[in-house]
Amino acid sequence: MANRLCEGRVAIVTGGGRGIGREHSLMLATHGAKVVVNDLGGARDGTGASASPAQQVVDEIVANGGQAVANGADISDFEQARQLIEQAVDEFGRLDVLVNNAGILRDRMLVNMTEEEWDAVIRVHLKGTFAPSRWAAGHWRELCKKGEAVDARIINTTSVSGIYGNPGQTNYGAAKQGIAGFTIIAARELRRYGITVNAIAPGALTRMTEDLGSGERSEEQKAAQHPRWIAPICTWLASEESRAVTGRVFEASGRMLAVAEGWHRGPTVEPTADPTQLGPVVRDLVERARKNAGMDGKDLD
C-alpha cells in the first residue's frame, strides 16, 4: 500500500477481537500501525472470558506482515486499564492512539430492567471509556510537560441509540450519550497537550446487533451494515492527518458518513417566577422548537 496513513503509530483497540473492533484492528495494521488488540473475550452480555478472539486477530495481523500483541484486560477495571496503556508503551516504545470500542448489551424495557443490567452496561461502556482514556491522557500529558511532541488520538464509540434514542436501551443509550458528552468535554481539556478526542456512532451488524430490529435483512442491507464500513473513519482519525479535528461525533455505516450535530439552544423567552403562567409559554416554545431526532437522525414526525 503506497499511502499508509498510520505508518509507525501505535494503537490500542479495546474490544478489538470481534465485529467492529476487529475491523479497526485489521485496517489500522494494514495502514502501518502497531496494534494492541484488547478483548476480554466475553459473551455479548459481558459474561465469561476467553483469550481466543484477541489472539486470533493478532495472528491474522502478524500473518499479513504486521505487528500486534494481544491483551485480555477488563477495561472497566481501573488498574487493568493502567496496565493496558503500559503494555503498549513497553511493547512498542510509545502510544499514539486509543480506540475505545469494547461494549456489551443488556437490553430491557425500563420497567423490567434490573439494577445489575443497568450497572453492567454503564460500567463496561462508560467506565470502560473513562479508565483507559484517563491513563492514556495522563501518559501523553507527562510527555508534553517534558517538552516532547505529542500528536495523540482518543477515538470513542458512541451510538445512535444514545445520541438519538432507542426504546429498550435506557442503560445502553445513557452510556452512549454519556460517551458523546465525555468526548466533547475531554476534547476541550486535552487539546492543549496535542491530544484529539472524537467519537464514532457506527451502524453495523455484529453479534451485538444482528438480532435487533424486525424482519429479514436483504443481502444489500447486510452488505451496507458490514462492520468494515466503520474502520475507514477510525483509521483516518487515528492518523496524523486528523490533528485539526476534535470534539466531533461521526455517524458511519455502509450508507453514509455524517457529522452528528449536538445540542443547541432553541427558542427562548424571558423567565417568569409564576408557574401558573408557564402553560401557554412552554407550549409555544415546544411548538417552535425543532423536534427530537429519530434513530435515522431526522426529525420525528
Spell out the SS3 assignment of the chain: CCCCCCCCCEEEEECCCCHHHHHHHHHHHHCCCEEEEECCCCCCCCCCCCCHHHHHHHHHHHHCCCCEEEECCCCCCHHHHHHHHHHHHHHHCCCCEEEECCCCCCCECHHHCCHHHHHHHHHHHHHHHHHHHHHHHHHHHHHHHCCCCCCEEEEEECCHHHHHHCCCEHHHHHHHHHHHHHHHHHHHHHHHHCEEEEEEEECCCCCCCCCCCCCCCCHHHHHHCCHHHCHHHHHHHHCHHHCCCCCCEEEECCCCEEEECCCCCCCCCCCCCCHHHHHHHHHHHHHHCCCCECCCCCECC
Task: Please pick, among 118, 172, 229, 250, the residue that the annotation labels catalytic.
Answer: 172
- CA distances 145 to 103, 188, 290, Å, are 33, 18, 45
- Reply yes or no on whether 172 is catalytic: yes
**Cell numbers that stand for 263 in this block:** 445540542
Q: At 150, give phi and psi (nearest 5°).
A: -125, 130
Tell me the Cα Rg of the chain.
Answer: 20
Catalytic residues, by residue number, are 172
